[in-house]
């Protein structure tokens, strides 16, 4: 399986994207699906998002 990693953000002339290999999960491992990420300051929005059941996958709150 392959994924894309954004290494530099910006417009088309600045953005850098790398294709990376993502290994398949082994025995006893699971691949979590991230549905949406929120900043810590938006934790209330994240909770409301989960309550409304709008997400498929994990909801992540980042510092």
Within a domain: 10: no
Give the side-chain half-sphere CA count within 13 A for 43.
Answer: 5
Contact by Cβ (8 Å): 44, 53: no
In a domain, 5, yes or no: no
In a domain, 6, yes or no: no
Instruction: Give CA–CA dist 21/3, Å, rounded.
Output: 6
Residue-by-residue pLDDT tens, the chain, 63 positions? 667 788 888 888 888 888 888 778 889 988 888 899 999 999 999 999 999 998 888 999 998
Domain that holds residue 47: 32-63
Asked whether residue 52 is domain-assigned, the answer is yes
Does residue 57 sit within a domain?
Answer: yes
- The structure's pTM equals 0.54
For residue 61, being part of any structural domain is answered with: yes
> What is the number of domains present in the chain?
1
**48 located within any domain:** yes
């Amino acid at each position: 399986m392959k994924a894309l990693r954004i290494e530099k953000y910006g417009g088309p002339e600045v953005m850098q994207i790398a294709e990376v290999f993502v290994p398949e999960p082994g025995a006893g491992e699971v691949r979590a699906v991230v549905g949406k990420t929120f900043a810590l300051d938006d934790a209330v929005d994240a909770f409301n998002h989960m309550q409304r059941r709008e997400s498929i996958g994990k909801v992540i709150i980042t510092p």
